[in-house]
Structure 1
Amino acid sequence: MGSVAGIIGFLTNNVITFVFVLSLLVFVHEMGHYLVGRWSGIRIMAFSIGFGPEIAGFTDRHGTRWKLSIIPLGGYVRFFGDEDASSKTDVDQLSAMSEEERARSFAGAKLWKRAATVAAGPIANFILAIAIFAVLFVVYGRTVADPVVAVVMRGGAAAEAGIEPGDRLVAIDGTKVTTFDEVQRYVGLRPGRNILLTVERDGQKRDFGIVPKLVEDTDQFGNKMEVGRIGIALVDPLVTAVEPGGPAAQAGVQAGDRLIAIDGNNVATYYDIARYVGDHGGKSLVLTVERNGQTRDFPMVPETLAATDASGKKKDVGSIGISPIDPLVASVAPDSPAQGAGIALGDRILSVDEHVVDSIGDVQRFVASRPDKPVMLHIERNSLTRDVEVTPKKTEEPDAFGNATEISSIGITDGQKPIKLRYEAYGPFRALGEGVRQTGSIVSGTFEYLANVVGGYMKADQLGGPIRVAQLSGQMATLGFSAVLQFAAILSVSIGLLNLMPVPVLDGGHLMFYAIEAVRGKPLGARAQDIAFRIGFAMVLSLMVFATWNDISSRIG
């Protein structure tokens, strides 16, 4: 972290959200065990959120101790006859029980009841994830981009295969795709592996064999990750605004230039430039752009500015004074709501219904789900600000299959090559189905990542522990409660999968023992189980140490 102040800041920004998210997931997981155990007639001694000494609690009329413990990194349900929180059987206690007591113990329950009780925890995590995704889809819907290629990066896998701007992606490895995100997710998990991309060009379908390349990507919070990329983008990386007197302006860069490369490194999006420049304040670099069909190089030295990232962390970053996301109106459609409201070219939109916006894209996404509902734009013109009320109207846009889809718009663009966006609303049943699909996608994606690690296609440094989870929790909190819920759903699936690993101490290890018992007709001996539990504990501890080391390395490296 670098300093005591940094540690305090990290804790302040992240721990509260982390404890909330993890406690919710642990509660649901353990409640799965508790409910099925109670239904199976098993006596429950304790239900704890957290480990270690009890902070607060109470005992209910069934004799169960409900408690909050001091270490908020998990939880447990302890059944009658368990030796400890890991559900290891207390052999001495079991042998001293009466028949009636043995029937109420976990170890004395029928095999199927024990298996159902153990499996209920991970299953509860999957159900929670599905429910969260379904609620988010019902409440917010989503805005998606059609899988149409706007940019093909020079020297990228797509360019080498023959993909061209304007191609519509219709399938990957025979699976239909309807959004650009689906393409990115699939490609991201398959670096170095052959995939078959089906595109539609001039009304004809064509197949292209492509091998995604492994690249290091950086998100808006500065988190680095390795992903597969084929070198395509939705939007031309065009310069919309050039700051007068800035390094780019002094070098000769103009609005409308398309960004091609920086220091010889090809770029697919404006943000590739922004990340590189941000790390090179005060250092000479060369920006390559395309203007009127010709490529030009512009040497310049980024100035160093103080900035605050999305997580509230202050740092110095390089800037050359260009932007693709200046919320500047570059075109107004004839007879559009914007034209009727008096919005003109060059107007800068500062907020929509008091929501601050950074780009025309933000405005478009905000109004997409508000047809016929007036919104208030706060705009700047000639250094003066004023409020303008405008009512979005429905327009028809073709979806990935050419079907007309309604989306609301006010008829403005930022001058970049247009993105085909469409808003999708969800009813309860469709949202539930999409929640199942999203959860299944996370499960399959997790196995794909593990296969990539084993196969040597990716590094294992993306496995994170409690520090990274806390960091991501805090970052999601800066984006709003819906982002925290989405992160909780993803983490819930991860917890469910982790607990299903066939490792003693974890739920999957218990289920493995029960499978062996079903085959043998009797459980493993006490000594064999004790050795297995010790090995399992060592494996889990090693995984935690490895994940925590990854967390620390990512913060100091």
Structure 2
Amino acid sequence: MGSAAGFIGFLTNNVITFVFVLSLLVFVHEMGHYLVGRWSGIRIMAFSIGFGPEIAGFTDKHGTRWKLSLIPLGGYVRFFGDEDASSKVDVDQLSAMTEEERAQSFAGAKLWKRAATVAAGPIANFILAIAIFAVLFSVYGRTAADPVVAMVTRDGAAAEAGIKPGDRLVAIDGVNVTTFDEVQRYVSLRPGRTIALTVERDGQKRDFQIVPKLVEDADQFGNKMEMGRIGIALIDPVVTVVEPAGPAAKAGILAGDRLIAIDGNNVATYYDIGRYVSDRPGKNVVLTMQRNGQMRDFPVVPKTVTDTDASGNKRDVGSIGIGPIDPLIGSIVSDSPAASVGLELGDRILSVDGRAVGSVGEVQRYAAAHADKPVSLSVERNGQTRDVSVTPKVSEELDAFGAPAKIASIGITDGQKPPKLRYQSYGPLQAIGEGVRQTVNIVSGTFEYLGNVIGGYMKADQLGGPIRVAQMSGQMATLGFSAVLQFAAILSVSIGLLNLMPVPVLDGGHLMFYAIEAVRGKPLGARAQDIAFRIGFAMVLSLMVFATWNDISSRLG
């Protein structure tokens, strides 16, 4: 981030949500161990959230010490007879036990009880993820866009294969698809590998062989990631409004121009251009536009504006003054609050009640939450800044699904026509089924990514550690509690998978030992287990160092 103050700000903005999410996942994981262990008759000495010195705790009637520990990066359940929190057996203590004590120890329990107790932790993480997804689906339902192509990127993989705007995507590699998200998810995990895409065009089905290209993309928070792309989009990136006297206007760009490429790089969405421009304040870029069927190049120099990211950090970014890349008003409803205070097409909204904004959508969301309450807008027009007070009023509008809804608004949009979306509600059983499907998708996606890394299709720098988890936790918090829960569900699956790796120290390593014991008829010797645990610890430590280095590298740029 470039400074100690920035790093401290990063921690302040993200650590609370990070601790909440991680503590929830650790508690559920360890509770899985605890419940099955208790059910198996194994005595439990300690249940800890966190490692290191105890901060607070109590001892229950069964002799279990429940505690919060200083370092909130995990937790453990310590069973009777364990040498430490990794469930390594204390051989000396075990040999000195009576038969009754041995029966209550973890090492003295039957093999199937030990295996069930160990496996219960990761299984609990999967169950938690399914439960969270099920609740989100049942409460919020799901919005989805039909897999109909609106835009085909020039020279992209889809264009080279012969895909055209208006094609409906029917199946990928023989598997039917019903939403655009399904297509994106499948393609993103298969860069450099041929896929078969079935489309419907003019009532006829046609098959195309396409090889997704590996590209580096970024989400709304600027987090960069590699993924496969074939060059299709739901929305045609047509300029809806041009800022008067802005860089684009000076270059001759007009509303209605279609964005084709920037500096020779094909674009499929406004976001592709917005991200590229924001990284180049003051540097010349060339926009390739289509106007009346003709291609034209426009040299543009993005002006420098100050942007505030999701963590509250400010930085200088580039702006060219076209909507909806920039927070420019693209349409105004007549007789609306915005019209009554004199707002005009092309006005740039700088802030709302002193909070910097990066899109008209942010203004709309803020207005919706402040019905009948005056809000202050800082607006730039022709290089001049003025402040206006406007009061959002409640009106009945049609939402994205065509249903009437009451919402507070000041009557402005960015001028874009949103894609046609459909809404699907879920009953309890359907929601659980979708929760299972989402969890399975995350598991399969993780293995696909690892396969891509091993096969050389993707780099391993997307593996993140605690710093990245903390950063993403804070970012999700800015989107609301439901986003935090969704992130927790995804992370819960990841923790479950990580713990099932056949590495000593992890749950999967213990299960590997039990499988060996089942085949041999007796456990591995103490020395062999000790060596294995040391190797496992070194492997886990190396993975943590590598992931943390990725975190630091990504933040330093």
Asked if TM exceeds 0.5, the reply is yes
Instruction: Give the 5 Å matches for 1:158-307.
Output: 158-307=158-307
* Partner of residue 395 from structure 2, selected from 370, 390, 394: 390
Aligned to 2:438: 438
Q: Which amino acid aligns with 1:134?
A: A
Residues 376-525 of structure 1 aligned to structure 2 (within 5 Å): 385=390, 387-392=392-397, 407-408=403-404, 416=416, 419-525=419-525
SS, match of residue 290 in structure 2: strand
Pair 1:311 & 2:316 matched? no
Is 2:267–2:273's contact at 8 Å kept on the other side of the alignment? Answer: yes
Q: Which residue is equivalent to 2:354?
A: none
The CA distance in 1 between the partners of 2:203 and 2:412, in whole Å, is: 29
Q: 1:492 is matched by which residue type in structure 2?
A: S
Greater shift in the superposed pair: 439-448 or 250-259 = 250-259
- Gap change, CA 1:27 and 1:477, over 3 Å in 2: same
1:25 aligns with 2:25: yes
Provide the C-alpha distance between the structure 2 equivalents of 1:230 and 1:329, rounded to a whole number of angstroms: 30
Residue by residue over 1:270-311, the C-alpha shift from the partner in whole angstroms, topping out at 9 and shown as x without a partner, is 111111111111111211111111111111211111111122
| Residues 408-464 of structure 1: per-residue CA shift (max 9 Å, x gap) | 579998654651211222221111111110010000000000000000000000001
Q: By how many angstroms is 1:2 displaced?
A: 2.6
Cα distance change on mapping 1:393 and 1:544 into 2, 3 Å: closer
Superposed CA deviations along residues 329-357 of structure 1, whole A, max 9, x for unmatched, are 7599xxxxx99999999889999xxxx99
Inter-partner Cα distance in structure 1 for 2:543 and 2:415 = 50
Instruction: Work out the CA distance in 2 between the residues paired with 1:437 and 1:50.
Output: 31
Give SS of 2:316's match: strand
Q: Is the 8 A contact 1:331 1:414 kept in 2?
A: no
Residues 93 and 360 of structure 1: is their aligned pair in 2 closer, same or farther, counting only changes over 3 Å? closer
Supply the distance in 2 between the matched residues of 1:149 and 1:254 (Cα, whole angstroms): 25
Q: SS in structure 1 opposite 2:523?
A: coil
Q: What SS does the corresponding residue of 1:457 show, helix, strand or coil?
A: coil
Q: Which residue of the partner structure matches residue 114 of structure 2?
A: 114
Displacement of 1:245 in angstroms is: 0.6
How far apart are the structure 1 equivalents of 2:456 and 2:252? Answer: 45
Q: Supply the AA of the counterpart residue of 2:395.
A: V
Q: Which secondary structure does the structure 2 equivalent of 1:391 belong to?
A: strand
Deviation for aligned residue 1:378: 9.7
Q: 1:460 to 1:320 in 2, by over 3 A?
A: same
AA aligned to 1:300 is V
Tell me which residue corresponds to 2:384.
none
CA distance in 2, matches of 1:199, 1:339: 45
Q: Is the 1:329–1:360 Cα contact (8 Å) retained in structure 2?
A: no
C-alpha separation in 1, matches of 2:300 and 2:398: 44
Does the C-alpha gap of structure 1 residues 34 and 452 become closer, same or farther in structure 2, counting only changes over 3 Å? same
Q: Which residue of 2 aligns with 1:123?
A: 123
SS of residue in 1 equivalent to 2:88: coil
CA distance in 2, matches of 1:247, 1:306: 16
Task: Give the C-alpha shift of residue 391 in structure 1.
Answer: 2.6
Change (3 A) 1:196 1:363: farther
Contact 1:328 1:360 in 2 (8 A): no
Distance, in Å, in 2 between the alignment partners of 1:388 and 1:523 is 72
Q: What CA distance in whole angstroms lies between the structure 2 residues aligned with 1:76 and 1:471?
A: 24
Identity %: 79
Distance 2:76 2:36 in 1: 14
Distance 1:537 1:519, change over 3 A: same
Residues 196 and 409 (structure 1), Cα distance of their counterparts in 2 relative to 1, 3 Å cut = farther
The CA distance in 2 between the partners of 1:280 and 1:439, in whole Å, is: 39
Shift of 1:99: 0.5
Structure 2 SS opposite 1:281: coil
Number of the residue aligned with 1:153:
153
Deviations 1:150-191 (A, max 9, x none): 110011100010000001111111111111111111100000
Equivalent pairs counted in the alignment come to: 532
SS of the residue 1:109 aligns to: coil
User: Is the CA contact (8 Å cut-off) linking 1:129 and 1:492 kept in structure 2?
Assistant: yes
What is the distance in 1 between the residues matched to 2:483 and 2:213? Answer: 29
Residue in 2 that maps onto 1:322: 322
Equivalent residue number for residue 76 of structure 1: 76
CA distance change for structure 1 residues 478 and 414 in 2, over 3 Å: closer, same or farther? Answer: closer
**Does the CA contact (< 8 Å) of 2:337 and 2:390 recur in 1?**
no
The answer (yes or no) to whether the contact 2:308–2:315 under 8 Å persists in 1 is: yes
Quick one: distance in 1 between partners of 2:12 and 2:2? 16
Aligned residue for 2:147, secondary structure, equals coil
Q: After alignment, is 487-496 or 133-142 more displaced? A: 133-142
Are the aligned partners of 2:504 and 2:532 in contact in 1 as well (CA < 8 Å)? Answer: yes
Cα offset, 1:142, TM superposition: 2.1
Report the equivalent of 1:372.
none
Residue 67 of structure 1 is matched in structure 2 by 67
Q: Distance in 2 between matches of 1:389 and 1:80?
A: 62
Q: Deviations over 1:9-50 (max 9, x none)?
A: 011011111111101100000000000000000000000011
Farther-moved stretch of structure 1 (545-554 vs 496-505): 545-554
Aligned counterparts of 2:287 and 2:374: Cα–Cα separation in 1: 34
Shift of the 418–202 alpha-carbon distance from structure 1 to 2, 3 Å rule, reads farther
TM-score after normalising by structure 1: 0.89
Q: Distance between the aligned counterparts of 2:373 and 2:187, measured in 1?
A: 38
Listed as ranges, the gaps of 5+ residues in structure 2 are 352-356, 382-387
What SS does the corresponding residue of 2:164 show, helix, strand or coil?
coil
Q: 1:346 to 1:180 in 2, by over 3 A?
A: farther
The C-alpha deviation readout for 1:30-79, integer Å capped at 9, x for no partner, is 00000000000000000001111111111110000011111111000000
TM-score by length of 2: 0.89
